[in-house]
Chains A and B, each alone.
Chain A
């Protein structure tokens, strides 16, 4: 969630009240924003750091926070934003070249006339653009904004796409003109701009905006030209906005003009610009300030809020949330709702309903407990089974541990003297694409690494240590939609001055007995015959010391006998890999076979 820093004194002045911390906290709480920090005493002037919901682009600056709270408090009506053509009547024009379709197809713009900047307003204007770029515009990849001193430029304008070598201008805060190709090198190490270069770098053409004299306004989404640089003295602002996403282009345009047109000579008016873009049928007069109109059902709002408010009361509530709502003259239940251009977050009647509930007060809503009809309490079968194994292990004197499920390839394989399977599709591990640390490369396919790491971190504990885990491992599985599956395993480790082979063996016997599976002594011959039960056989497994490892076989009624796990004395090289000076024995088996 974005956090916005605003001047405390200025905000309280705008809200017409010198709030105490508790009072302001409460206002934020009721509205649904959060006062994160008050820097009073640590910073001059004192700042309030306010957390804004991620979809409230209209509150990403001081102006928006003040506006929304004032409307909520009933101190101000939601302004009506209007288009005001220039005195002569002839609109500025921008011609969009079809070539832009290949790199950044959508264009929008607007002019703010007679703006009175102060240092605070200017800083807020720049900061809002930064916030929009970072959040909604996904680091400028979807939308990029350029703002210019219109008085340094000469219309008509054009939005073009040209090979980078043909674009040449002095970028913002530079005096030397360079080509767009040179700029890619120039800003490669730039802390702020480098991250935006890949958005267009490999495109054969770069997007660029010119005025009538071929002065470059912007090379979106990288940088503006220095020529039309905005200053505190700027009064007429030309805003260009380019995008790869048409919806977000409109949102950004709306937010910018709505937030800052209040400082225009004629407040809340915006000068429209004619955009000529016939190739993609995007020719229009920009911006479009028409509020979106929709309908909301009073019955629906009342039904979810649990209220029974008349439509007129609901319209009053909605007014506090910036809507203009009126009872429909044609339908007894309907409200005709106009959604202002600032409220891009409103997608559905449900959003209007929620705003009505916020305006009413969440904590004042009637609380009727939901009916408990037809509810069935049931535990997931695999969890019930796992709980049996957990309970029996703990009762047998073993302590439950909870290591992580993500681990490195080496821990999962090499340290256990295994190598990652390459051929067997069912046993391959799930590999992560983008872990922040080499500690997390795969999802574990065995519980052993976690147990052994737990022992390693607990060497201060008296020996013997007896630990166990019942948890999920995961494998690739090409047959399934997710191409992978979890498998519930049970594993235990004994660690002490002696290896404790017969201890893990005893635990196996105990758990099997509790699962009603009997031990059948079976040799290599004739296995799989007869009734159900489990048996063990010596096995060659590099994780274990030769001659001290067993495979566990299970046969359940009506099913084929299968190997479900292994146990044994860990090979000294495994102990060494996990930095364990004493011997250990481990047991691991698949629990799901008992489902």
Chain B
């Protein structure tokens, strides 16, 4: 019994305080060497007797053996015969009372009366006289009834042949019965000793703990079930990733906006306006509010960025540091969003920054369409553009929700979490990205990576990250990465030699792989089992 400490406690009185079965058993064992419970306590249910015996046996006050035996029990028909007489007796009795009983009499109708007639003929109790029955004797001995009455009392037949016959006639059925034979145990006592289950302040104070009769502890039981709070498993995995990012010197991006514009979500990332990802099939568009404003600085985002930025020119002298809001405004003043918009348009439409571009008529209206962001890279674009005010090496990450207009199934939800990292630095190489990813994924327990050329509109080169999956015995894709395209970075006004890695993976996928979850709805959303949340172990990605 989980959660139960020590032996089962003994209630003083069971059955509403009318009787103390344990005391009765002790009394019986005191008087007789061997107490058969079925004879001593025939009316008490077997389970109750066993519970009482267990209480005593666990303290070695009594010992008991369990006896299995087969008994017979009367069927409904058997009970009737035992109380009212056999079928043949009833026929004879009716004939005797009538003197002469017509064969058409209703008392001779029915299956049982037919059996009774046959038996009464065989026993020569009655005979046929024309169309009626007459009695041949004044008194009969109803053996069937007597045998059943005897069986009812003794729960058995002396002659097994008779038992077999009665069973065949469906008057009795066999029944397994458990009973116990109890006797004195090694620690025999007439009374339950006072047992101590736990150490109390009083016992320490009065010293009684030294002489106390300790109730044995049940080392096979589990401890008490505690009700505590819990973090969601996905948030625990998220925290692991955040710590890895912090450890590697990343600043968390302000991703607190589900709605973004076509411009930031697609155009700035050099995703052409006819790209399939921009279809209604794939992206949630917003109907209300109907349209975005022109691209510009977002004060809340800028202030959060300034707050996290630990570079302040005032650190090296005695002046008071500028407030985050002031620093944010200072950076914004160095940025020209209209110029940025024009750059993005021309790199798509006409080609620029060494690119021939996509050469299609750029539609300004597409840039103003509001979408639920399909990736957090929309925020990365904003943050990288801001870097143009003071281009320098930096590292950013985010883990937040993104939206896809998916048909929901076991592996797809319309929203999930994207983990994204961005590294800007001078002189970055493709091999450096591989080295970085290798270190990053080693921290979540994925040691061996392979890199596959891939296509992504905003990175060139693009690499899919593969890892060996021991269970599936093959390489599986675990993330995506690349170096942001010059078309994207130079349109922002970043210098040509400042290169930028980007990489991403979903939060759900590695979590599902780690925990063997096959249905994403069991991990995110309102259908997640609360018991799963409460019982999910701590996440130690590096050790699993």
Binding site for B on A (CB under 8 A): 1, 29-32, 34, 53-56, 135, 138, 142, 245-248, 292, 303-306, 345, 347-351, 353-354, 357-358, 362-363, 365-383, 390, 393-406, 428, 430-437, 440, 443, 450, 453-454, 456-458, 461, 465-467, 472, 474, 476, 478, 480-486, 488
Query: Beyond A138-B274, A374-B392, A394-B231, is A405–B450 a contact (Cβ under 8 Å)?
Result: no
Q: Does B210 contact A (CB under 8 A)?
A: no
Within 8 A of A (CB), among B350-401: 351, 353-361, 370, 372, 392-395, 401
A482, B439: Cβ atoms closer than 8 Å: no
Closest to B496 in A: A300
- Give the contacting residue for A472; candidates B234, B256, B357; CB below 8 A: B256
Decide if A365 touches B252 in the complex (CB within 8 Å): no
Can you spell out 24 A-B residue pairs with CB atoms less than 8 angstroms apart? A32-B454, A55-B455, A245-B361, A304-B483, A362-B453, A365-B430, A374-B392, A374-B394, A376-B308, A376-B311, A377-B247, A383-B252, A396-B229, A399-B534, A404-B414, A405-B401, A436-B405, A440-B284, A443-B372, A480-B298, A481-B295, A481-B296, A482-B370, A486-B256
Q: Contact string, B393-425, partner A, CB cutoff 8 A, digits 1/0? A: 111000001010111100001110000000101
Q: Which residues in B have their C-beta under 8 angstroms from that of A367?
A: 431-432, 434-435, 438
Partner of B257, one of A394, A405, A485: A485
Task: Give chain A residues whose Cβ lies under 8 Å from the Cβ of B479.
Answer: none
Asked if B249 and A377 sit within 8 Å, CB to CB, the answer is: yes
- A303 and B427 CA atoms in complex are apart in Å by 7
Contact with A along B134-166 (1 / 0, CB 8 A): 000000000000000000000000000000000
Residues from chain B with Cβ under 8 Å of A53 in the complex: 454-455
Q: Which 7 A-B pairs have the closest CB atoms?
A: A375-B249, A32-B453, A53-B455, A394-B229, A306-B429, A483-B289, A453-B526
From B232, B354, B359, contact of A402 by CB (8 A):
B232
Asked if B485 and A348 make an inter-chain contact with CB atoms under 8 angstroms apart, the answer reads yes
List chain B residues, Cβ under 8 A from A306: 429-432
Complex CA gap A304/B489 in Å reads: 15
Which residues from B are CB-within-8-Å of A358? 453, 461
User: B393 to A458, Cβ gap below 8 A?
Assistant: no
In the bound complex, do residue A435 and residue B405 qualify as a contact, i.e. CB atoms below 8 Å apart? yes
In the complex, the chain A residue whose C-beta lies closest to that of B295 is: A481
Taking a contact as CB atoms under 8 Å apart, the answer to whether A457 and B286 are in contact is: no
Residue of A nearest to B400 (CB): A472
Q: Which residues of A contact B16 (CB under 8 A)?
A: none
With the chains together, A350 CA to B499 CA distance in Å? 12
- What chain A residues lie within 8 Å of B372 (beta carbons)? 406, 432, 443
| Given A367-B432, A370-B428, A478-B289, A377 and B229 contact (CB-CB distance below 8 Å) | no
B259 at interface by CB-CB < 8 Å: yes
Q: Identify A376's interface contact among B228, B249, B285, B436, CB under 8 A.
A: B249
Q: Are A401 and B530 in contact (CB under 8 A)?
A: yes
Interface membership of chain B positions 173-188, coded 1 if the CB is closer than 8 angstroms to chain A and 0 otherwise: 0000000000000000
Instruction: Give every chain A residue within 8 A of B401 (Cβ-Cβ).
Output: 405, 472
Find residues 295-310 in chain B having any chain A CB closer than 8 Å to their own CB.
295-296, 298, 300, 304, 307-310
Quick one: CB contact mask for B254-272 with A, threshold 8 Å, 1 for yes?
Answer: 1111111100000000000
Q: How far is the CA of A320 from the CA of B233 in the complex (A)?
A: 47
Q: Are B451 and A363 in touch, CB under 8 angstroms?
A: yes
Question: In the assembled complex, how far is the CB of residue A536 from the closest CB belonging to chain B, in whole angstroms?
Answer: 23
Q: Say whether B235 contacts A305, CB under 8 Å.
A: no
Which of B227, B408, B436 contacts A370, CB < 8 Å? B436
* B455: A residues at CB distance < 8 A: 1, 32, 53-56, 345
Min distance, Cβ A196 to any Cβ of chain B, angstroms: 16
Shortest distance in angstroms between B449's beta carbon and chain A's nearest beta carbon?
Answer: 9
A404 touches B413 (CB 8 A): yes
Are B256 and A382 interface neighbours, CB within 8 A?
yes
Contact A370 B286, CB 8 Å, known A347-B355, A362-B453, A402-B235: no
User: B525 in the interface, Cβ–Cβ < 8 Å?
Assistant: yes
B79 is an interface residue with CB less than 8 A from chain A: no
**Are A380 and B308 neighbours in the complex by a CB distance under 8 Å?**
yes
Q: Is the CB of A369 within 8 A of B432?
A: yes
For residue B292, CB closer than 8 A to chain A, the reply is: yes
The answer, yes or no, to whether B463 is at the interface (CB within 8 Å) is yes
Most chain B Cβ neighbours within 10 Å, of A358, A363, A400, A456: A400
- A377-B249, A434-B405 known; A390+B435 contact, CB < 8 A: no
B512 within 8 A of partner (CB): no
Verify A399–B530 contact, CB threshold 8 A.
yes
Closest Cβ neighbor of A29 among chain B residues: B452
Q: Among the listed B228, B261, B415, B528, which residue makes an inter-chain contact with A482, where contact means beta carbons less than 8 Å apart?
A: B261
From B234, B246, B257, contact of A484 by CB (8 A): B257
Return the contact of A483 from the options B246, B291, B461 (Cβ within 8 A).
Answer: B291
Residues in A neighbouring B462, C-beta threshold 8 A: 354
Q: Is the CB of A377 within 8 A of B251?
A: yes
Interface residues of B in 433-480 (CB under 8 A from A): 433-436, 438-439, 450-455, 457, 460-463, 466, 475
Bound CA span A366–B235, Å: 36
Using A138-B276, A368-B431, A375-B395 as known contacts, list a sample of 9 further A-B pairs with CB atoms less than 8 Å apart, ordered by residue number in A: A55-B455, A365-B429, A370-B436, A378-B251, A432-B284, A435-B414, A437-B408, A454-B526, A458-B529
For the complex formed, measure the closest distance between the CB of B466 and the CB atoms of chain A, giving whole angstroms.
8
Whole-angstrom CA separation of A474 from B373 in the bound complex: 13
Contact digits for B187-208, partner A, Cβ 8 Å, 1 yes 0 no: 0000000000000000000000
CB distance from B167 to the nearest CB of A (A): 46
**Residues of A contacting B274 in the complex (Cβ-Cβ under 8 angstroms):** 138, 142, 245
The CA-CA distance from A461 to B527 in the complex, in Å, is 13
For window 271-328 of chain B, which residues contact chain A by CB distance below 8 Å?
274, 276, 280, 284-289, 291-296, 298, 300, 304, 307-311
Q: Is the CB of B525 within 8 A of A305?
A: no
Q: How far is the CA of A305 from the CA of B431 in the complex (A)?
A: 7
Specify which chain A residues have a CB less than 8 angstroms from the CB of B361 in the assembled complex. 245
A379 partner residues in chain B, CB cutoff 8 A: 242, 246, 252, 308
Contact check, A375 vs B527: say whether CB atoms are below 8 A apart. Answer: no
CA distance A34 to B477 in the complex (A): 11
Docked CA distance A437–B250 (Å): 38
Contacts of A34 in B (CB 8 A): 452
- Residues of A near B405 (CB, < 8 A) are 434-436
Asked whether, in the complex, the Cβ of A484 is within 8 Å of the Cβ of B461, the reply is no
Nearest residue, chain B, Cβ from A376: B310
- The answer for the CA separation of A358 and B405 in the assembled complex, in Å, is 33
Structural contact, B288 and A472, CB atoms closer than 8 A: no
* A434, B280: Cβ atoms closer than 8 Å: yes
| Alpha-carbon distance between A403 and B438 when the two chains are bound, in angstroms | 33
Q: Contact between A465 and B436 (Cβ–Cβ < 8 Å)?
A: no
The interface residues of chain B lying within 8 Å CB-to-CB of A457 are 526-528
Name A358's closest neighbour in chain B (CB-CB). B453
Question: B485 to A350, Cβ gap below 8 A?
Answer: yes
CB–CB B231/A476 < 8 A: no
Nearest residue (CB) in B for A396 is: B229
Shortest distance in angstroms between A207's beta carbon and chain B's nearest beta carbon?
19
Whether the Cβ atoms of A245 and B360 lie closer than 8 Å is yes
Residues A432 and B287 in contact, CB atoms below 8 Å apart: yes
B486 at the binding interface (Cβ < 8 Å): yes
* B88 at interface, CB cutoff 8 A: no
Q: Are B252 and A380 in contact (CB under 8 A)?
A: yes
- Residue from the list B284, B353, B395 in contact with A434, Cβ < 8 A: B284
Q: What are the residues of chain B within 8 A of A30 when measuring CB–CB?
A: 453
Q: Is B123 an interface residue (CB 8 A)?
A: no
Contacts A349-B354, A406-B415, A432-B372 given: A304-B259 contact, CB under 8 Å?
no
CA distance A482 to B297 in the complex (A): 11
Cβ A430 vs Cβ B530 within 8 A: no
Q: How far is the CB of A481 from chain B (nearest CB, A)?
A: 4
Which listed residue, A305, A399, A433, A461, touches B230 by the CB 8 Å rule? A399
Residue from A348, A376, A398 within 8 A of B355 (CB atoms): A348
Check if A380 sits within 8 Å of B261, measured CB to CB. no
Let me know if A32 and B452 touch, CB within 8 A.
yes
Residue of B nearest to A55 (CB): B455
B residues less than 8 Å from A405 (CB atoms): 258, 401, 415
A199 to B200, CA, bound (A): 86
